[in-house]
Structure 1
Amino acid sequence: MLLGALRNSVRLNAVPRLVSCHRVPSIPGLSSLRVQGSTLRSLHTAPHRTLKAYGRVRELPSSLFRGSRTLHWSRPNATQVKEQQSLPILPPPSVGRWLMLSSVLVLGIIVVGGVTRLTESGLSITEWRPITGILPPLSNAEWMVEFDKYKATPEFKLLNQSMTLEDFKFIFYMEWGHRILGRLIGVVFVGPLAYFAIRKKIPKSLTLKLSGLAVLIGAQGFLGWYMVQSGLEDSVMETPGAVPRVSQYRLAAHLGMAFVLYLGMFGAGIAAIKDWKYAHGAPWSGYTGKLSEAVKNPIFRSFSRQSWALTGLVLLTAISGAFVAGLDAGLLYNEFPLMGGRLAPPTDELFSPEYAKNPDKSDKWWRNLFENPTTVQFDHRVLATTTYFATALLFARTFKPAVRAALPPLTRVTTMAAFAMANIQVALGISTLLYLVPVPLAAAHQAGSVMLLSAVVHILISMRSPSKAARTLRHLWMQNRRL
C-alpha cells in the first residue's frame, strides 16, 4: 500500500529533493535513490551507490543506503546547501589505477633508456623532431639520409667507422623506441588528467600537483635532447683519447627527473587507492586502533623520520649510479668488496689533480667526485653499502615489541619488502660489476633501483594519514552503519 501511494503521488519530473535520508528504506520495490540534491530515478533498479553533491559523485557502499525505516522529504535550506558544497572530493579508484599505469610506463622508459645507453644507441638520432619524428624511415632512401647524418657525428668517426646500415638500424630503433615511449607517456597522462579535472573527479590541490607532473613530462623531452646534444659536439675530436658520450651531469639530471615523475605518479596513485578503501571502511594500513593516537606515538614518528631519511639515501644512491653509467665507471675495478686489492684506491687516484680545471686546482675535490671514474665508482659503492645497512637496521627495528605495537601492520610488511629488494639490488649490482656490465644485468640493476625506491616510498605511504576527504566520507560511512 505504501509503495502504491508513492507511485500515485510522485511524478518523475517534479520530485521533491531528498535531503536527510541516509539509507534507502527497506520497502519491496523501492530500491533506487540518488541523494542530496538529485531526483528519484527509478523504483525498480538495483540499489544506488553514489552520493551526489554539486555535480561531484562520492562513491559509498550500498550498505550505506539500506535498512532505514524512515524517509524525510523536503527541499534543502541554505545551511544544507552550504554543507553540501563543502563536501571534499575523493578521487575514485579509476584515478588511482590510471596513475599506477602511468608510473609503470615511466618505469618502462627508465629501463628502456638504460638499455639504449648500454647499447650505445642514444646518439643514433641526431635531430629532435617531436611531431615528424614519430615515424621512422620508411624507405631505403630515407634510411640512407639518417645514416649519413650519423656518419657526421664524432661517435661514428671515432668508434663506428665499420658500422653497416643494418647495424645502424638496430641502434636507431632503440633510440626511436625510447622517444616513442616518452610520447606515449605524455598522451596517457595528460589526456585522462584533463578528463578527471574537468569532471571534478580530483580535488584542486591534486589537479595542480598532477599538472606539475604533466609539465615535467614536457620538460623531460627537452632535457633528453639537451643531453643528447652533449654527445654530438665536435669538440671531443680535439681531445686526445676522448670518447664521445653524453654529459654525465645531464644524464643524471635526465634520470633524476624520471625518478621524480615516477615517484609523483606512484605515490599519488597508491595514496588515492588507499584513501578510497579507508573511506569505505577498510582499516588504515591494517591498523585497527585509533588513528589520531597512533600518529602521535613518539616511536611512530621516529620510524617515520628514519623512513624519510632512507628514502633520500636510496634516491641519492640511484642518482650516483647515473654518474657511474655516464662515465662507464663500472668497467673499472671489477671486483668486490676490494678495489685493486684494498678497500679504497690510493688517495692520489681518488683525488687526482688532472681533473682540476682552475689554475689553482681549487676545483680538484668536487670535479673528482663527479668526473673521475674511479672516485665515482667508489662513491657509488659507499652509498650502496650504506643504503643496504640502513635498510637492514630499519627492518631489524620492526622486531622490537614496542615498535611492532606502534606501527601499522602494512608498515611492517613494506619494510620487510624493502629489505628483500635491497638484497636483490645488491646482488644485481655486484654481479653487474663482476661480469663487466653485461646489458641484461645492468638493465635489471637499473630497474632494481626503481623497485627499491618504490618499496621505501610505500613505507612512507603506509604511515601517511588519510586525506581529509577520506576521513570525512569514512565518518559518514560509520554514521550510517550505526543507523
Structure 2
Amino acid sequence: MLPSLWAKTFALKQPGISCLRGIHHTSAVRSILQANKLAPIATRTSIPLPNPRSTVLSTFASALSQADLASESEAASAETLPTLTPPSVSYWLVFSATLVFAVIVVGGVTRLTESGLSIVEWQPITGILPPLTKAEWEKEFDKYKETPEFKMINHSIGLSEFKSIFYMEWGHRVLGRFIGLAFVAPLAYFASRKALAPPLTRNLLFLGLLIGFQGALGWYMVKSGLEDSIIETGSVPRVSQYRLAAHLGTAFVLYAGMFGLSMSTLYDWRFAKTGEWGGLKDPMTWKKVVENPIVKRFARYSRLLAALVFVTALSGAFVAGLDAGLLYNEFPLMGGRLAPPTDELFSPFYAKAADKSDLWWRNILENPTTVQFNHRCLAMASYVGTGALFAWSRSAAVKAALPPLAGKFALAAFGMANVQVALGITTLLYLVPVSLGAAHQAGSVLLLTTVIHLLVALRRPGMAARIWRQAVAKGRKF
C-alpha cells in the first residue's frame, strides 16, 4: 500500500514523470507495483525513501525503451487494433467492378451500332426517363434531325429506327448513373460505420470522384460528334478518337481500381483470420517469398505486362474511333505484306503543320492504317509478354519461389491472352460484326482482370492485416 501511495504522490510532484506516466499509461509500472503489493513481505521490492527518484526514473526508462522497440506483435497486443476492412466491402467493390465491366461492353455495342449520337443533350437528372408520349418522341427525333449524323448518314430513318438507337444510348447513360449510386451510397454507409481503413478510404473517394468525371467526359466526347464543322469539312460524323480513348481509359482505370482494391481487402482479411497468403498456409513464409530476388523480378515484369495490356486496350479505342478495323481485313498480313508501305503509314495527308513537324504523331493517332498496324503490334507484344511470363513461371527455380496463387494467375493470363487474340483476329476477318466487336472489347477487360489478380497475388499483406494476424495467433477473440 505504501509504495503505491508514495508513487502517486511523487508523480504529482514531478511534472516530467507525470508526463511520462501519461504517455503509455505504463502497464509495466502498474504490474511491478501490483506484484510488489501481492508479494510476501520478505520478498517485496525495497524502495528506499531517501532517494526514490532514481528508482522510478529507471523503471520508466525501461518501459519507454521497450515501447521504442515495439514490433508488430506488440502492436497486436494493444487494446485498439487498426481497422481491418470486412469482406462485405470487397463484395461491394466486386459488384461495382462488374457494373463497370457491363458499361464498358454496352458502350462498345453503342459505338458499334452507331447509337451514341442519338441523344443530343446531357440531362443528368431528368434524362433518367426516356420519352413517354408520342409528342415527346417526336421532339427528341426533331433534335436528332439537326445533327450531322442524321443529315449525312441517317436521313432516311424513321421514328421506329430512331427509337432503337435512342434506347441503346439511353441504356448506356442510365447504367452509368446507376454505377454512381451503387458506389457512392455504400461508400457513405461503410465510412459512417468506420469499416474502412484510412488508405482505402482515400482511394475509394478518388474512385467516386472519377465516376463523376467519367460522366462529364462522356458528354464531352458526344459533343465532338455533334459539331456543325463536321458538315463543313465533309468528314464522317463520329466522336473524336482522342475523347473516346480518354473515356474508355477512365473506365479501365475505374474497373482496375475497384477490382484491385476488392481483391486486396479480401486477401488481407483471409490472411488476418486464417494466415493464408498467396495459396500458402504458413503465415510466416510470406516475408521470405516477397523478399526473394526472383519474386521481386517476377513482380516487376508483371507490372510492366499490366501496363502493356492497358496501353493495348487503349489503342483499341483509336481503332474504334477511326473505324480502322474496316481496313486490311486479313491476318497476319496487311495487303499481302507484314506491314503497309511506309508512305501509307506516314502519309503527308495527315500532317497539318506547314513544316510537317507533326507528321509522325498525327499518323500514329489519326491515320486509320497506322492505328490498326500499331494495335496489331501492341496486341502481339501483349500476347508474347503474357506467354513469356507464364513460361518463366513454369521454370523450376521460379516455380519454387513463387506463391502458388501467382503461378495459377500467370496461367490464367496466358489462357485469356489466347482467347483475346483469337477474338481480335476473328473480328478483323469478319469486318467487325457487333457481336464479335463487343466480345473483343470484353476480352480486353478480362485479360486485364487476370493480370491484376496476378499482381494482387504477389502483393504483401497490408500492415493492418499483419497486426491482426499477430493478435489472432496469440488467441485473442474479437
For residues 232-243 of structure 1, the aligned pairs below 5 Å read 232-240=226-234, 242-243=235-236
User: What TM-score comes out, normalization by structure 2 length?
Assistant: 0.83
Q: In the alignment, what sits opposite 1:137? A: 131
Q: What's the secondary structure of 2:465's corresponding residue?
A: helix
Q: In the alignment, what sits opposite 1:210? A: 204
Q: In the alignment, what sits opposite 2:300? A: 305
The structure 1 residue matched to 2:253, chosen from 256, 260, 263, is: 260
**Greater RCO, 1 or 2 (C-alpha within 8 Å, sep 6+):** 2
Q: What is the CA-CA distance between 1:172 and the residue it aligns to?
A: 0.3
In the alignment, the residues of structure 1 paired with residue 78 and residue 272 of structure 2 have an alpha-carbon distance, to the nearest angstrom, of 19
In the alignment, the residues of structure 2 paired with residue 121 and residue 81 of structure 1 have an alpha-carbon distance, to the nearest angstrom, of 57
Cα distance, 1:81–1:380 mapped onto 2, change above 3 Å: closer
2:272 is equivalent to residue 279 of structure 1: yes
Aligned letter for 1:312?
A
In the alignment, the residues of structure 2 paired with residue 423 and residue 145 of structure 1 have an alpha-carbon distance, to the nearest angstrom, of 48
Aligned letter for 1:456?
V
2:158 is equivalent to residue 160 of structure 1: no
Tell me if structure 1 keeps the 8 A contact 2:184–2:208: yes
Q: What's the secondary structure of 1:84's corresponding residue?
A: coil
1:214-267: CA deviation from partner (whole Å, max 9, x where unpaired):
000000000000000000001011113x11000000000000000000011000
- For structure 1, the residue ranges without an aligned partner over 5 or more in a row are 1-19, 21-78
Aligned letter for 2:175?
L
Q: In the alignment, what sits opposite 1:369? A: 364
Q: What is the CA-CA distance between 1:82 and the residue it aligns to?
A: 11
Q: In the alignment, what sits opposite 1:88? A: 82
Q: In the alignment, what sits opposite 1:149? A: 143
The structure 2 residue matched to 1:220, chosen from 190, 214, 227, is: 214
Moved more, 287-296 or 211-220: 287-296
Q: What is the CA-CA distance between 1:288 and the residue it aligns to?
A: 4.1
Q: What is the CA-CA distance between 1:287 and the residue it aligns to?
A: 2.1
Aligned letter for 2:349?
E
In the alignment, the residues of structure 2 paired with residue 165 and residue 279 of structure 1 have an alpha-carbon distance, to the nearest angstrom, of 59
Aligned letter for 2:270?
K
Cα distance, 1:155–1:80 mapped onto 2, change above 3 Å: closer
2:390 is equivalent to residue 395 of structure 1: yes
The structure 2 residue matched to 1:171, chosen from 147, 152, 165, is: 165
Aligned letter for 2:424?
G
In the alignment, the residues of structure 2 paired with residue 272 and residue 393 of structure 1 have an alpha-carbon distance, to the nearest angstrom, of 29
Q: In the alignment, what sits opposite 1:193? A: 187
Cα distance, 1:80–1:217 mapped onto 2, change above 3 Å: closer
Aligned letter for 1:314?
V
Q: In the alignment, what sits opposite 1:57? A: none
Aligned letter for 1:474?
R
Larger of the two Rg values belongs to structure: 2
Q: What's the secondary structure of 2:79's corresponding residue?
A: helix
Cα distance, 1:206–1:80 mapped onto 2, change above 3 Å: closer
Cα distance, 1:258–1:275 mapped onto 2, change above 3 Å: same
In the alignment, the residues of structure 2 paired with residue 460 and residue 238 of structure 1 have an alpha-carbon distance, to the nearest angstrom, of 49
Q: In the alignment, what sits opposite 2:237? A: 244
2:113 is equivalent to residue 119 of structure 1: yes
In the alignment, the residues of structure 1 paired with residue 417 and residue 143 of structure 2 have an alpha-carbon distance, to the nearest angstrom, of 43
In the alignment, the residues of structure 1 paired with residue 475 and residue 275 of structure 2 have an alpha-carbon distance, to the nearest angstrom, of 15
1:327-365: CA deviation from partner (whole Å, max 9, x where unpaired):
000000000000000000000000000000111110010
User: What TM-score comes out, normalization by structure 1 length?
Assistant: 0.82
Q: What's the secondary structure of 1:102's corresponding residue?
A: helix
Q: What's the secondary structure of 1:89's corresponding residue?
A: coil
In the alignment, the residues of structure 2 paired with residue 254 and residue 438 of structure 1 have an alpha-carbon distance, to the nearest angstrom, of 22
In the alignment, the residues of structure 1 paired with residue 88 and residue 306 of structure 2 have an alpha-carbon distance, to the nearest angstrom, of 27
For residues 274-353 of structure 1, the aligned pairs below 5 Å read 274-288=267-281, 290-353=285-348
1:152-172: CA deviation from partner (whole Å, max 9, x where unpaired):
000000000110100000000
In the alignment, the residues of structure 2 paired with residue 208 and residue 390 of structure 1 have an alpha-carbon distance, to the nearest angstrom, of 33
Tell me if structure 1 keeps the 8 A contact 2:409–2:453: yes
Q: What's the secondary structure of 2:475's corresponding residue?
A: helix
Q: In the alignment, what sits opposite 1:415? A: 410
Q: What is the CA-CA distance between 1:418 and the residue it aligns to?
A: 0.3
In the alignment, the residues of structure 1 paired with residue 84 and residue 77 of structure 2 have an alpha-carbon distance, to the nearest angstrom, of 18
Q: In the alignment, what sits opposite 1:31? A: none
Q: In the alignment, what sits opposite 1:426? A: 421
Aligned letter for 1:278?
F
Q: What is the CA-CA distance between 1:84 and the residue it aligns to?
A: 2.6
Aligned letter for 1:229?
K
1:132-177: CA deviation from partner (whole Å, max 9, x where unpaired):
0010000000000000000000000000011010000000000000
1:410-467: CA deviation from partner (whole Å, max 9, x where unpaired):
0000000000000000000000000000000000000000000000011000000111
Q: CA RMSD in A?
A: 1.7
Q: What's the secondary structure of 2:78's corresponding residue?
A: helix
Q: In the alignment, what sits opposite 2:45? A: none
In the alignment, the residues of structure 2 paired with residue 187 and residue 357 of structure 1 have an alpha-carbon distance, to the nearest angstrom, of 44
Q: What is the CA-CA distance between 1:293 and the residue it aligns to?
A: 1.1
In the alignment, the residues of structure 2 paired with residue 260 and residue 81 of structure 1 have an alpha-carbon distance, to the nearest angstrom, of 35
2:174 is equivalent to residue 180 of structure 1: yes
In the alignment, the residues of structure 1 paired with residue 361 and residue 411 of structure 2 have an alpha-carbon distance, to the nearest angstrom, of 36
Q: What is the CA-CA distance between 1:81 and the residue it aligns to?
A: 13
Aligned letter for 1:124?
S
1:302-334: CA deviation from partner (whole Å, max 9, x where unpaired):
100000000000000000000000000000000
1:101-124: CA deviation from partner (whole Å, max 9, x where unpaired):
000000000000000000000000
Q: What's the secondary structure of 2:118's corresponding residue?
A: coil
Q: What is the CA-CA distance between 1:83 and the residue it aligns to?
A: 3.1
Tell me if structure 1 keeps the 8 A contact 2:87–2:269: yes
In the alignment, the residues of structure 1 paired with residue 370 and residue 275 of structure 2 have an alpha-carbon distance, to the nearest angstrom, of 50
Tell me if structure 1 keeps the 8 A contact 2:345–2:363: yes
Q: What's the secondary structure of 1:390's corresponding residue?
A: helix
In the alignment, the residues of structure 2 paired with residue 401 and residue 378 of structure 1 have an alpha-carbon distance, to the nearest angstrom, of 37
